[in-house]
């Protein structure tokens, strides 16, 4: 079996999107005049129903066409995997696997379970690099995955979000491989800058473990944004910073306590105690079905600053504070607007 092709990240060949084009089957169906329908009966159609013999007259043509497209797409995907006709970049990102499998697995959680509402996705540029900076919460980092689906499915230019992840993600078996395949990479300035200069959309949560591991009583209160390293990276790459606010993730695992001794034994940053976990065992790990809203704010442009601006600590502090305040203000606005946690 042939090996997958590995392409340099700065290869300027455009990557073809492998997802089939979305069509409207209902719009393509046109009613025929009565005179035009008669000859169709001569071709073997049932004159009583106007359908082919053996066909289900009650089946929706659009539904049949949808399943046929999905089947054809699935078979084409399997052929590419068997023949090695797919590309993996130097970071391990497998766009074909992400589009066809990983997004398909996450999409029901996104659409049916959390019922995510997306706002302002058009603020992410249609081309070129951009750094999406978001709040982090939820005990488990599901917010990053839902952001990835939001950009993947809703951006008009069909962009992909490449997330920067903590070291712990790449130390876990299976999770490590899946994260690489989905386009995640280590949260370091060098990798982030290379991605941005290559024209990718990069996502970062500066709160880190302080955000997802904070007590439920401190929900929607942003933690410290580190030393502003993400601002320095954006300045060096000359890309805009897009603030992103996520509401709904805080309540999926209400963290009432932290078993620090157990966390140290397991090598974890924290061990959450929630109303259901660990008391209900594996069932307690099921997140609550909260209603989510993800809003991408107005971009903060950095291309007007000189190259040496990335070394100016005061400028980095000011820009970091500006991004943090914009995210916090949007969180409060969304909280006031939402009707309830679950609806």
The predicted pLDDT at position 226 comes to: 78
The mean pLDDT of the chain is 85
Cα 140 to chain centroid distance, Å, stands at 15
The predicted pLDDT at position 44 comes to: 42
| Average pLDDT score over residue span 184-213 | 94
The predicted pLDDT at position 66 comes to: 78
Kindly list the distances between the CA atom of residue 171 and the CA atoms of 35, 165, 174, 177, 267, in Å, as whole numbers in the listed order.
69, 11, 9, 10, 11
Q: Which residue would you say has higher pLDDT here, 184 or 10?
A: 184
Q: Which residue would you say has higher pLDDT here, 252 or 304?
A: 252
* Burial of residue 255, with CB atoms counted within 10 A of its CB: 0-12 exposed, 13-18 middle, 19 or more buried: buried
The predicted pLDDT at position 253 comes to: 96
From 220, 287, 286, select the one nearest 247 (Cα to Cα). Answer: 220
The predicted pLDDT at position 240 comes to: 97
- The band of 32, judged by pLDDT with boundaries at 50, 70 and 90, is very low
Helices (H) and strands (E) counted in the chain, each on its own, are 12, 11
**CB of 164 closer than 8 Å to CB of 192:** yes
| Ramachandran area for residue 139 (φ above 0: left; ψ -120 to 50: alpha; else beta) | left
The predicted pLDDT at position 14 comes to: 40
Check pLDDT > 60 for residue 160: yes
Q: Helix/strand/coil (H, E, C) string of 256-271? A: CEECHHHHHHHCCCCC
| Average pLDDT score over residue span 196-205 | 97
In sequence order, the β-bridge partners of residue 7 are 89
* pTM value > 0.75: yes
- The band of 21, judged by pLDDT with boundaries at 50, 70 and 90, is very low
The predicted pLDDT at position 68 comes to: 86
| Average pLDDT score over residue span 315-340 | 95
**CB of 176 closer than 8 Å to CB of 169:** yes
- The band of 67, judged by pLDDT with boundaries at 50, 70 and 90, is confident
* Burial of residue 309, with CB atoms counted within 10 A of its CB: 0-12 exposed, 13-18 middle, 19 or more buried: middle
- The band of 70, judged by pLDDT with boundaries at 50, 70 and 90, is confident
* Cis check: omega of the bond before 215, within 30 degrees of 0: no
């Amino acid at each position: 079996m042939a090996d997958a092709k590995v392409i340099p990240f700065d290869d300027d060949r455009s990557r073809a999107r492998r997802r089939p084009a979305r069509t409207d089957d209902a719009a393509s169906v046109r009613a025929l005049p009565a005179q035009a329908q008669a000859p169709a009966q001569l071709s073997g159609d049932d004159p009583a129903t106007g359908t082919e013999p053996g066909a289900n007259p009650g089946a929706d043509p659009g539904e049949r066409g949808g399943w046929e497209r999905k089947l054809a797409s699935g078979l084409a995907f399997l052929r590419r995997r068997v023949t090695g006709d797919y590309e993996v970049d130097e970071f391990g990102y497998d766009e074909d696997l992400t589009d066809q499998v990983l997004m398909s697995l996450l999409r029901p959680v996104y659409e049916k379970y959390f019922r995510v509402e997306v706002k302002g996705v058009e603020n992410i540029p249609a081309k070129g690099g951009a750094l999406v900076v978001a709040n982090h919460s939820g005990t488990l980092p599901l917010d990053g995955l839902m952001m990835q689906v939001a950009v993947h499915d809703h951006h008009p230019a069909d962009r992909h979000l490449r997330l920067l992840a903590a070291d712990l993600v790449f130390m876990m078996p299976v999770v490590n491989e899946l994260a690489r395949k989905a386009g995640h990479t280590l949260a370091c300035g060098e990798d982030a800058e290379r991605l941005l200069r290559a024209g990718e959309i990069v996502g970062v949560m500066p709160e880190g473990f302080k955000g997802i591991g904070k007590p439920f009583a401190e929900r929607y209160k942003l933690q410290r944004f580190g030393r502003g390293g993400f601002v320095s990276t954006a300045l060096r790459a000359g890309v805009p910073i897009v603030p992103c606010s996520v509401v709904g993730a805080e309540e999926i695992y209400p963290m009432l306590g932290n078993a620090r001794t157990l966390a140290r034994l397991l090598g974890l940053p924290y061990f959450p105690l929630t109303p259901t976990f660990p008391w209900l065992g594996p069932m307690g790990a099921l997140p609550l079905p909260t209603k989510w809203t993800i809003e991408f704010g107005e971009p903060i442009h950095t291309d007007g600053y000189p190259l040496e601006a990335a070394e100016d600590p005061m400028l980095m502090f000011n820009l970091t504070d500006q991004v943090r305040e914009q995210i916090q203000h949007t969180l409060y606005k969304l909280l006031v607007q939402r009707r309830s946690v679950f609806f």
